[in-house]
Structure 1
């Protein structure tokens, strides 16, 4: 299977969900900490949208992780 943008966006969202759950955070809690709309977290995690680098920075900061950790996933 070819790894394209759609697969990457979905894999990113799946990884973000795993990182959030590993910290026992709800989508609402993460959204509040990152100061972004809660529905945006859900859409990112479901791979419905390709988010901005600015939003990635805010999410990483809210999770207290380096930005590169959000991209540390295997292609599935």
Structure 2
């Protein structure tokens, strides 16, 4: 397995992308013992606006929590 896996989930607000990112990060940290961080970005609209969730999973300490080069893209 790679040392660092970066995932970007993007789409419309209300699709559950931010929740999916949170679940992925928590599952990697709790059940696999990895370091994980999740960041999110969304517009002021409740539904329909652009939203994005970024997840970084690593064997080592994560020094930069943003996605630099996405290994997995879900759009």
Q: Same fold (TM over 0.5)?
A: no
Q: TM-score, normalised by structure 2?
A: 0.33
TM-score normalised over the length of structure 1: 0.32
More helix by share: 1
